[in-house]
């Protein structure tokens, strides 16, 4: 009999399991998908998640976790954290607000007052929301004291929301700067930029100012280390070919391994990732959870990532190109008939000398675009056309790309993007638009021994929201939790 059963194959379920096992509870992490966290070919290794992982700075959420678990990770500071590249402009997003203001003012001459006021409000909003998260990591108040403490902060939130909206609307001309802001939001949040609440937008825009770090060797190595940590403290990590879940006074999971043998696993409580492929079928099929399941069916992905994996010569890379950059490509127009959701290409580039990702004098390059439809629902011809257009856009940044490519396999990139759509976080629409704008739905369920984790729950916090959602799910099944009537405070 396990204390905690965790089902999922994402960062949220992993964090719930590692924290549970570390605290001494008998824990098992299950998943029923044979999907690795990396793609390896021709001497190159690519992370499947091609967007920045945050929280590695001193005092950051991830650096604190890894230190507490005694997991060493080599990271290098990225300077600048992000670059946004236009045909005639390059805007760096540095790691401090004064440098950012100077950079923007240079490109938007004559609009300095609005820019300064805008970024002062971003700084204030980041400070407020960061304190709210430190005081109440569950985001939604779970006690009367937390609820009244939250109410005392509402006037400040309303004021900042109003001021930030006003400064944002006054920016002229809007096209260049607003495209930069949209690109940053897509990098650091899991939310659809259209109609996002200003407070969540401001918090996401402040993310680079806390510093961005690149994990040498790839993010997948951290995932492997966390799984090994679960096992080293007495927990178990198990992959199954199928999972069937039944919840009453105890949790019963009927699993079948790769050899087809059925094994019954029992536990006192279960945490489900909303990314688990069986999540919605289970929730909709259980009359006690079906009403809550409808809230998840209302969350619609708006941006579907599609990634090309390239190995290129280091000599072809522009000088001082950041590990994370965004190309504002004119070759990818955004209109009602286009298959691209945004006219952006997102680049993740391995660090110089990172032999864990690329051979000597070579670099691993992941190029990602957001599509309007899931690659899982698109034909080979459509995705090949997408790939060709992405390569054409990439040549804008790498003029000698054709001569420098050491590795490319478009068919494999297409297959990978299709395969991973069910287990990665797209970008989601926020319909109710609550005050903070970071949370879509609560992790508490009608069943006391079932809670939910996943990137959809705290979409406005990006990958850090995945971590917090995993912790919150464990907190709930251990007797804590957040009240459903407080959903709108997220």
Q: What are the boundaries of each domain within the chain?
A: 2-36+217-299+430-489, 79-211, 301-420
pLDDT score of 482 = 43
Note the pLDDT tens digit of each residue in 271-297: 999 999 899 999 999 999 988 888 888
**What average pLDDT does this structure show over 421-426?**
84
| Token pair 């280091």: residue | 314
Burial of 34 (0-12, 13-18, 19+ CB in 10 A): exposed
Q: Residues 272, 452: contact at Cβ < 8 Å?
A: yes
Hey, what are 59's tokens?
Answer: 């005092």
**What average pLDDT does this structure show over 77-94?**
89
Angstrom distances, CA of residue 398 to CA of 193, 259, 313, 314, 409: 28, 47, 11, 11, 18
**Among the listed residues 197, 200, 424, 429, the one whose alpha carbon sits nearest the alpha carbon of residue 301:** 429
pLDDT score of 486 = 33
- Output the CA angle 460-462-467, nearest 5 degrees: 115
Hey, what are 74's tokens?
Answer: 């080599």
Strand partners, 30: 7, 238
- Tell me what the pLDDT averaged over the chain comes to: 86
Q: Residue 3: which H helix or E strand, with range?
A: strand 2-7
Strands 27-31, 301-313: pairing is unpaired
Other Cβ atoms within 10 Å of 228 Cβ, number: 12
Cα–Cα distance, 442 to 189 (Å, whole number):
18
Other Cβ atoms within 10 Å of 295 Cβ, number: 16
Q: Residues 453, 441: contact at Cβ < 8 Å?
A: no
Angle between helices 112-135 and 198-205 (to 10 degrees): 90
Hey, what are 78's tokens?
Answer: 């990225």
Confidence band (pLDDT; 50, 70, 90) for 131? confident
Share of the chain above pLDDT 70, in %: 89
Burial of 368 (0-12, 13-18, 19+ CB in 10 A): buried
Q: Please say if the pLDDT value at position 485 is more than 50.
A: no
Max mean pLDDT range (140-144, 223-227, 463-467)? 223-227
Note the pLDDT tens digit of each residue in 33-68: 877 889 999 999 999 999 999 999 988 889 999 999
Confidence band (pLDDT; 50, 70, 90) for 376? very high
The topology (CATH level 3) of 2-36+217-299+430-489 is FAD/NAD(P)-binding domain (3.50.50)
pLDDT score of 320 = 85
pLDDT score of 110 = 57
Other Cβ atoms within 10 Å of 253 Cβ, number: 21
Task: Give the lowest-confidence range in 33-47, 49-63, 383-397, 475-489.
Answer: 475-489
- Tell me which of 433 and 47 has the higher pLDDT: 47
Cα–Cα distance, 257 to 262 (Å, whole number):
7
DSSP character for 223?
Answer: H
Q: Residues 300, 428: contact at Cβ < 8 Å?
A: yes
Confidence band (pLDDT; 50, 70, 90) for 331? very low
pLDDT score of 41 = 96
Q: Please say if the pLDDT value at position 171 is more than 70.
A: no
Other Cβ atoms within 10 Å of 372 Cβ, number: 16
Q: What is the 3-state secondary structure (H, E, C) of 204-215?
A: HHCHHHHCCEEE
DSSP character for 420?
Answer: H
Q: CA quadruple 119, 438, 474, 133: dihedral positive or negative?
A: positive
**What average pLDDT does this structure show over 465-488?**
72
- Tell me which of 289 and 332 has the higher pLDDT: 289
Confidence band (pLDDT; 50, 70, 90) for 32? confident
Cα–Cα distance, 52 to 208 (Å, whole number):
10
**What average pLDDT does this structure show over 17-39?**
91
Burial of 390 (0-12, 13-18, 19+ CB in 10 A): buried
Q: Please say if the pLDDT value at position 489 is more than 50.
A: no
Q: Residues 38, 46: contact at Cβ < 8 Å?
A: yes
Residues listed for the chain: 490
- Phi and psi at 36, nearest 5°, equal -75, 165
Q: Which pTM does this prediction carry?
A: 0.89
Note the pLDDT tens digit of each residue in 215-254: 999 999 999 999 999 999 999 999 888 889 999 999 999 8
Q: Please say if the pLDDT value at position 125 is more than 90.
A: no
Note the pLDDT tens digit of each residue in 185-207: 999 999 888 867 777 788 888 99
pLDDT score of 11 = 94
Q: Please say if the pLDDT value at position 256 is more than 60.
A: yes
Burial of 7 (0-12, 13-18, 19+ CB in 10 A): buried
What would you report as the CA-atom Rg of the chain, rounded to the nearest whole angstrom?
22
Cα–Cα distance, 318 to 91 (Å, whole number):
15
Strand partners, 45: 40
């Amino acid at each position: 009999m396990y204390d905690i059963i965790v089902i999922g194959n994402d960062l949220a379920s992993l964090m719930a399991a590692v924290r549970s096992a570390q605290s001494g509870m008998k824990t098992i992490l299950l998943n029923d998908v044979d999907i690795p966290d990396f793609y390896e070919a021709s001497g190159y290794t690519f992370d499947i998640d091609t967007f920045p992982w945050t929280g590695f700075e001193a005092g950051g959420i991830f650096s604190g976790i890894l230190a507490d678990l005694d997991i060493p990770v080599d990271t290098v500071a990225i300077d600048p954290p992000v670059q946004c590249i236009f045909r005639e402009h390059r805007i760096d997003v540095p790691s401090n607000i004064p440098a950012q203001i100077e950079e923007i003012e240079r490109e938007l001459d004559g609009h300095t007052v609005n820019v300064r006021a805008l970024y002062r409000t971003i700084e204030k909003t980041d400070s407020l929301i960061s304190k709210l998260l430190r005081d109440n990591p569950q985001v939604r108040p779970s006690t009367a004291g937390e609820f009244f403490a939250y109410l005392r902060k509402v006037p400040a939130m309303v004021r900042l929301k109003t001021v930030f909206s006003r400064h944002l609307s006054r920016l002229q001309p809007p096209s260049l700067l607003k495209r930069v802001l949209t690109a940053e939001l897509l990098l650091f949040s899991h939310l659809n930029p259209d109609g996002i609440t200003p407070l969540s937008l401001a918090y996401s825009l402040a993310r680079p100012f806390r510093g961005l770090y690149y994990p040498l060797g790839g993010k997948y190595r951290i995932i492997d280390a966390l799984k090994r940590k679960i096992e080293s403290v007495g927990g178990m990590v198990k992959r199954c070919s199928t999972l069937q879940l039944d919840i009453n006074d105890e949790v019963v999971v009927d699993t079948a391994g790769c050899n087809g043998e059925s094994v019954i696993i029992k536990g006192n409580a279960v945490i489900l990732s909303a990314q688990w492929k069986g999540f919605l079928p289970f929730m909709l099929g259980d009359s006690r959870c079906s009403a809550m399941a409808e809230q998840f069916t209302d969350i619609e992905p708006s941006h579907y990532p599609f990634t090309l994996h390239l190995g290129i010569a280091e000599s072809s890379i522009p000088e001082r190109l950041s590990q994370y950059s965004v190309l504002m490509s004119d070759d990818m127009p955004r209109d009602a008939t286009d298959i691209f959701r945004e006219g952006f290409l997102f680049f993740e580039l391995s660090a110089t000398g990172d032999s864990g990702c690329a051979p000597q004098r070579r670099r691993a390059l992941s190029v990602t675009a957001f599509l309007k439809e899931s690659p899982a629902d698109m034909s080979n011809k459509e995705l090949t056309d997408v790939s060709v257009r992405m390569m054409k856009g990439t040549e804008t940044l790498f003029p000698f790309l054709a001569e420098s490519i050491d590795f490319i396999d478009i068919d494999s990139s297409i297959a990978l993007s299709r395969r991973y759509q069910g287990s990665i976080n797209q970008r989601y629409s926020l319909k109710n638009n609550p005050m903070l704008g970071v949370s879509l739905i609560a992790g508490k369920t009608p069943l006391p021994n079932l809670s939910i984790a996943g990137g959809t729950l705290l979409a406005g916090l990006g990958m850090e929201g995945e971590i917090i959602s995993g912790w919150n799910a464990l907190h709930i099944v251990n007797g804590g939790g957040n009240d459903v009537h407080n959903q709108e405070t997220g």
